[in-house]
Structure 1
Amino acid sequence: MAVIGGKWKPLILFHLGHDARRNGNLRPAIGNVSGKMLIQQLKELEADGIVDRFDFKEIRLTYIPECFRVCQKHKVS
């Protein structure tokens, strides 16, 4: 529980839901979080294996919940 505890991580995970979101789209959805704090929390979630960071070779980065990526691999068409 300590991995997803705190003020911002539950909100981040709620807004990620089962969909990938860019950092710029995530911050306004959460509200009063500073850009620095959001990035720090996302990096911690990434280090703990809860979210993955994808760099599409653009200026923006996209974060996706780990469970969504794993579930998509096992989805039957």
Structure 2
Amino acid sequence: MKKYVFTTLLAATALLANPYESKQDEIDEVTAIGKKASSALLKKLGGNLKNNLKAGGPKQAFDFCSNNAYALTQEVDKAFGDNVS
């Protein structure tokens, strides 16, 4: 029981001791970038997925995603700055 209480108090202290508090404009900026990046990624992956689905069915769409999704995600990541997507 003491161990549980100590762990809880330690975690609460660590969380409350954070000296940095995000400003609303920073949060809004990050949210806007995230929405743009996710929209671009969905458009790029979704468009290719639909084309492959029409051209060769689910297997071709699956193969395309398995082989290309990571590279396309990296392209979007570079377009919006490293580590966005």
Please give the range of the TM-score, normalised by the shorter of the 2 chains: 0.3 to 0.5
Give the structure-1-normalised TM-score: 0.35
Indicate the structure with greater helix content. 2
Greater C-alpha Rg: 2
Greater share of residues in strand: 1
Q: When the two structures are superposed, what TM-score results if normalisation uses the length of structure 2? A: 0.32
